[in-house]
Structure 1
C-alpha cells in the first residue's frame, strides 16, 4: 500500500473507530486525592512543583535581574509542561496528564525580566473548563464517565514541549497535532494541519533542527492503535517538505529520537498491554525480555530503515549522535527502574514526599551501531543521576559533543535535580554547579553566542524552583564555565509547576 493511501485509510472514519486510539482508552476511575496532595504540600513545600494551577494565566510579573547578562544574550525562553491537574475533587495520578501551560521568560534590555504564562486552549481544556470537570481520556489516569472523541486532538493536552519555526510558536505533545500560539501574548491560534490528509496525525514533542534550518520529527502510529511512524520534514519556512510512513516490525514506545548529518535514529522500546480498560500508561508494561529495536533512516529515503537490535533499555531522551569509522554512536539516558519510567514522580503527584527515591533520573549510556556488521551494543559512560540532556547543535557530528544536564545530588530536599552539569565523558571531564539543597532544577538549554561558530561558545539558560522561599526563577550561565554558577538570575514572587521542555528564541 502506498503511504498516501495508508494515511488516508488510517484517518478514514471507519478506520479511526476500528483502531480506537490506544492512548485514549480508559473507563475505570483510578485517581489521586487532592486532599492528600494538599496535606503533603503543607509538610513538603517542594511539592509545589506538582501543584495544580487554578487560573488560566500566571503573571505577568516584571522582576529585576541579579548579576549581569552577557553581551549578546537576548531573547525569550518558552517552556511547556503539565499544569492543570485537579478538577472537582479529582486529581490526575500521572505527571504526563495535566493540561499544558506555556511560559514566556522575556529578557528585557533594561536589566529586568518579564514572565507570563497561559494555558493552551485546546478543545479538551476549553470544554472541560466549561463543564467544571475532567471529561476526556489522558495518558495515565482513567477518567470516570469519559466523553467520546473523534480523534487524538479531542484529547490533546499540548503539555510537553514548544518549538519555534520561522517565528511561529507551537505547543507540542507526543500524541496529537502541534498547537500554534501567538508568540507575544501566548493566545492559542489552533491545531496545525501540515497537509489536509494529515489532520490529527501525531506530531511529537521533540523535533530536531537540521543544519539547513529545517526540522525533522516523527508521529507514532502506535498512539493510534497500529504500528509504524510518520516521519515529518518541515522546512525552515514552516512549510511541509515531506511526510513518509516508516513501517515498523513490532509495536514500540518512543518519546524522542536522535540525528546525525546523514541519519535519523529511532529506538522502539518493547511493551505489552495488560488486560482491562485502563489508560495507556496504566496498562503498559515494558518488556525487558525483548530487545530494543533501532531504525537507522537515511534522510534521503525516510520511508526505509536499516534495523538493529540491542539489549533492552527504557529511554525518554537522547543526547547527541555521531558517525565515525563505520560506527554510529547515540548517547541516551537509560532508566533502570521500570515503574519509575512508566510513571515518573508518581509519588509526588500523590503528595507522597518519600516515594520517589529514584526521581526519574537515569544513567548516560552510548548505543553503538556498527554500520558494517549490523550489530549493536551498549557502552557505559560512568555518568549517572541525570535527565534532559542537551548539547550545542553546531558540534560536528563526526565526534562526541559536550552534554549539559540537570543532576540529582544526595542530600537534596526533594528527590529531584538540584545541580546543573557539563559532561565530556570521552575526556573524563565534568563541571557542576550546585544551586542548593532546596532548589529544584529544570532543563537548561544551550544558547550559542551570536557570530561565533565554535562549539560550546555560548550560555545555558534554565528554570528553577526554590522550595524554601516559595519562588520560581531562571538562571543564565557561561556554558564553558558552568562551575562558576549563574552570570545572571531572576526570581518571581510566585511558584509555577515544573515542566518538561523549552525553546529559546533569540532576539
Structure 2
C-alpha cells in the first residue's frame, strides 16, 4: 500500500465516522429495479447513433435555416448498473439540420470523452460522476476522481462546437460530423468551466466561469474576445465550498450567486460520497452575490447579501438608469427536487414519479451597489425552468422570455410559456398529460422578420420524441410543425441554434 492510498484510507475512515456525513449512493443494480424502470423515455439510454431524414408533420417554416444542436445525457446504464440521477450520464450531441430544402436531417453522436472510451471498452462503469460513485465501494472511488462526461450544454462559436460538463474542461467537436476533436480549456487558462458561458451580442465577448473544489474552492472567471483570444482571467478563492450552476452578466458587471448549497469535500476525497451526496442546503446562510467589474475582474468584488434561493438557470441581467442591476432568474425556495432523502430527480431512475413541493418561480434581484442592498421579488409563480430570451436582448433590458412550464404542480413540464416582463402578460401552450417539454431554443428566421422556438418533446404514449416548432410571437397557438424522430430522446438539457 503506497502513502497516497494510506492517506485516502485514513480520510475514508474519518468520513465514515464524521457526524452528519451523508453516505454515498452507489450505482443502482439493474436486477434490483422494477421491470417498468425503463418505461419513462427521458430516463432511458439511447445507445444507437443515427443519421437520417426525419418525418415532418405540419408545415416546415421555409426561413428556418441552420442547425439546432442539443446536449444531454444519452447513457445512464452500463453492465449491471444504472446511474442514480436523471441529471447524470454520458454526453450525447443531437443535431437537427434545416438546409432550406424542405427536409430536416437528424443525427446523434456520443462525445468521445476519455471516460466514455474506457467504459465502452470495458463494458462497465469505471469512474465516479457527480451524483453516483463507481461500483466497488470506497477503494474504487478514492481521490475525488470525478469524470468529465461533457453532457450539459453545447455552444457553436467561431466554427467549433463546444460541449461542457459541470466544472471540467470543454470538449470541441466538428459541427458538420459531430466528431469529437479534443478536451481543452478556452483561452488556455488553468481553469475548470461550468456549462453556462455568456455571449455578449454587442462585443462578441465570451464570459465563462467555473468552480474548482479542494480544501478551499476556487472561482475561475475568464473573458475571451470575439475571436476567442484571452482578455482577462482571474482565479478567486471562496470562503466556502459552494455549488453554483449559472451566473449573470450585464454590460458592465459579472454577478456570481453563491447560493447556500455547501459541499463537504471530505467524503468525496475519501471515496465515501459523491458530490451531490456531500451537498447540503443551508438556508440560514442566505445567498451572497459577488459583483465583479467586467472591465477589471482583478478588482475586489462587491459582496451583497440576498435571501436564500436555489437557482439552476438565469434569464438575464441589465443595468438601469438609476444605477441598479436587475437580475432575472428561475428560483426555488429549496431544492427538494434534487437534494434530500428521496428527491424526484433520483426517484425517476427507479421508475417512481414523485412530486416536489418547491417549484421554479420567476424571480428578480434588484442590486443597489450604492446602498449595498438587494431586493428580491417574485414575478411569476408556477413551475418554470430552462429560461431563454432573444439573444439580441442579452445584457440589456429585455422585453420577453421563454421557459418550460408544467400543468401539474411539482412534476416534469409539459408546456412552453412566453413571458412579457414589461406588461406581465404571458402566453402558454400545454401538450397535455404524457408529454414532456425540453428547453425552448430561439432560432432567428433567415428573413429577419420572425423567430421560431424549438423544443424537444417526449411523447410517452408513442414512446417517441419530436421537435416542436413554434412561432415565437404565437406560443399559445401551438406548434406549427413537429419533426418526428424514429425513437425516443433521453432528457436533453441545453441547445444552441447556428443559423446558416
Same fold (TM over 0.5): yes
Q: Does structure 1 conserve the Cα–Cα contact (< 8 Å) formed by 2:257 and 2:287?
A: yes
- Identify unmatched segments of 5+ residues in structure 1: 1-12, 21-25
The corresponding residue for 1:340 is: 337
The corresponding residue for 2:204 is: 213
Alignment of 1:83-482 (within 5 A): 83-145=74-136, 155-194=147-186, 198=190, 201-210=191-200, 211-221=202-212, 223-273=213-263, 276=267, 277-304=272-299, 305-324=301-320, 325-342=322-339, 345-353=345-353, 355-357=354-356, 361-395=359-393, 397-410=395-408, 415-450=411-446, 452=448, 457-482=450-475
Distance 2:105 2:34 in 1: 29
Q: Deviations over 1:243-282 (max 9, x none)?
A: 2223434332110111111111110112344674210101
Q: Supply the RMSD in Å over aligned alpha carbons.
A: 2.7
Q: Does structure 1 conserve the Cα–Cα contact (< 8 Å) formed by 2:455 and 2:468?
A: yes
Distance 1:371 1:488 in 2: 46
Q: Deviations over 1:336-370 (max 9, x none)?
A: 343313366211122113x2445x84111111111
Q: Greater CA deviation, 461-470 or 330-339?
A: 330-339
Please state whether the residue corresponding to 1:348 is helix, strand or coil: helix
Change in 2 beyond 3 A, CA 1:298/1:166: same
Does residue 46 of structure 2 align to residue 49 of structure 1? no
The corresponding residue for 2:495 is: 502
Distance 1:225 1:131 in 2: 33
* TM-score using structure 2 length: 0.87
Q: How many residues align?
A: 470
Please state whether the residue corresponding to 1:417 is helix, strand or coil: coil
- Identify unmatched segments of 5+ residues in structure 2: 12-21
Distance 1:60 1:396 in 2: 34
Change in 2 beyond 3 A, CA 1:130/1:252: same
Distance 1:217 1:196 in 2: 13
Q: Greater CA deviation, 225-234 or 459-468?
A: 225-234
The corresponding residue for 1:4 is: none
Q: Does structure 1 conserve the Cα–Cα contact (< 8 Å) formed by 2:218 and 2:236?
A: yes
Q: Does structure 2 conserve the Cα–Cα contact (< 8 Å) formed by 1:95 and 1:344?
A: no
Change in 2 beyond 3 A, CA 1:388/1:31: same
The corresponding residue for 1:7 is: none
Distance 1:48 1:218 in 2: 32
Change in 2 beyond 3 A, CA 1:424/1:35: farther
Cα distance, 1:31 vs. partner? Answer: 2.7
Distance 1:237 1:339 in 2: 41
Distance 1:150 1:181 in 2: 29
Change in 2 beyond 3 A, CA 1:448/1:110: closer
Q: Does structure 1 conserve the Cα–Cα contact (< 8 Å) formed by 2:75 and 2:90?
A: yes
Q: Deviations over 1:371-397 (max 9, x none)?
A: 220111211113321100000121275
Distance 1:92 1:151 in 2: 17
Distance 1:224 1:235 in 2: 30
